[in-house]
Amino acid sequence: MLASVAANTMGTKIMIGLASRFCKVVCGMVLPVSLLALCIDAAAEVGVQPPRGDNVGQPGFQSPVVKSRTRSDGRSIYLIRLEQAPVASYRGGLRGLASTSPEVMGELKLDVRSAEARAYRAFLEDRQEQILDAITQRVGHEPETVYRYYYGNNGMAVWLTADEAAQVRELPGVISVQRDTKRQLHTDAGPAWIGASDLWAGSGGLSPTQGEGIVMGVIDTGINPSNPSFADVGADGYDHTNPRGASNYVGVCNPGDPGYDVTFPCNDKLIGAWGYPTVNGGDPRDYNRHGSHTASTAAGNHVDAVLVAPTVNLAARISGVAPHANIIAYAGCCTASALAAAIDHAIADGVDVINYSIGSGLASDA
């Protein structure tokens, strides 16, 4: 079994690549990690309501932490974190608001549609409005909001000057204010490296599985929906089933969503995709190939591929770690503000696992 599939944006060629890193960190929610783990950098652990904002340009990959651009008016995007727990980790204690934490409730993951979750989210939204009003009074103008976060963390991303950010830090109820940063792309190791084939075969007394019924959220640079790694039927003949119901898609594939894109082809394997206004103009199609690479490494179909090289042609059956899993793509890479919104969206969509193959570094408040 070869390590990974990296799909180019034209959907006509498959490159076989070896990966350099496999990251397993559980974060935010109680999630099954037998197939793939959630890997989230703490600085981006803020968790969906993305109003339109100015485009901060293409992500830069020169270093682990690169500050986002400053506009001509001297403002940059700052992430503001508030003191109340987000929906995914609220353990109760506020009058009239029951716990929403899956750990407290004895559940495997958050049910964002429960009455408790909806009530607490409404509370957070009201509290955020109060903070935005306080910011307006403090800095003398209404701040331009880029994203608001409810599920993975409680806060918002807004355009501020450095002086305004310093003033916001002093407001009651504000835990931290960090300037937005760009992240560095990493990747995953392949099935053979981590013994996925043993899991597929059901060794160790486990039931055989290749990810059937698991919805994987891939947060990265987007996805190439035309690549065979994300087709409804794989080379092994497995015909995917959409666990949300036939033609029940999310994001740009949902006709009821404001961002609906009739040209983006979802199917029973790729059941949704989200874009973000500060990344690639909001288009979830992969602008870098990295997102398609990591999505196929994590959950790409079995594919019969041929690598054509100057001295050899190599034919092989390749796949991801969980080739029968479903995928929702979140094209939030690579600014912390968009990545935070992507995490929030993934929690709201109820994914079972998040793949986050993006590097981190020490954040700066400068």
- By the 10 Å C-beta count (0-12 exposed, 13-18 middle, 19+ buried), 324 is classed as buried
pLDDT digits (tens, 9 = 90+) for 66-97: 456 789 999 999 999 999 999 999 999 999 99
Kindly give the pairing relationship between strand 270-275 and strand 326-331: parallel
| Averaged pLDDT, 39-59 | 31
- By the 10 Å C-beta count (0-12 exposed, 13-18 middle, 19+ buried), 27 is classed as middle
Q: What is the pTM of this model?
A: 0.76
The reported pLDDT for the residue numbered 186 is 57
Kindly give the pairing relationship between strand 14-17 and strand 4-7: antiparallel
| Averaged pLDDT, 302-329 | 88
Residue 338, H or E segment: helix 336-349
139: tokens are 């800095």
Please check the confidence at residue 147 and state whether its pLDDT lies above 70: yes
Residue whose C-alpha is closest to residue 75's, from 138, 161, 146, 139: 161
Q: How far apart are alpha carbons 208 and 71 in whole angstroms?
A: 53
| Averaged pLDDT, 294-314 | 86
Residue 167, H or E segment: helix 162-169
| Per-residue three-class SS string for 226-244 | CCHHHCCECCCCCECCCCC
State which CATH number among 2.70.160.11, 3.30.930.10, 3.40.50.720, 3.30.70.80 fits the domain covering 68-181.
3.30.70.80
Q: How far apart are alpha carbons 366 and 357 in whole angstroms?
A: 26
SS3 305: strand
Please check the confidence at residue 139 and state whether its pLDDT lies above 90: yes
SS3 97: strand
Instruction: Give the lowest-confidence range in 75-84, 116-125, 188-197, 322-331.
Output: 188-197
pLDDT digits (tens, 9 = 90+) for 232-278: 999 999 999 999 999 999 999 999 999 999 999 999 999 999 999 99
Comma-separated ranges of CATH 3.30.70.80 domains in the chain: 68-181
DSSP line for 201-235:
HTGGGPPP-SSTT-EEEEESS-B-TTSGGGSSB-T
- By the 10 Å C-beta count (0-12 exposed, 13-18 middle, 19+ buried), 61 is classed as middle
The per-residue b/e assignment along 95-115, b for 16 or more CB within 10 angstroms, e otherwise, is eebbbbbbeebeeebbbbeee
First to last CA, the chain: 46
Q: How far apart are alpha carbons 221 and 358 in whole angstroms?
A: 10
Q: How far apart are alpha carbons 203 and 163 in whole angstroms?
A: 59
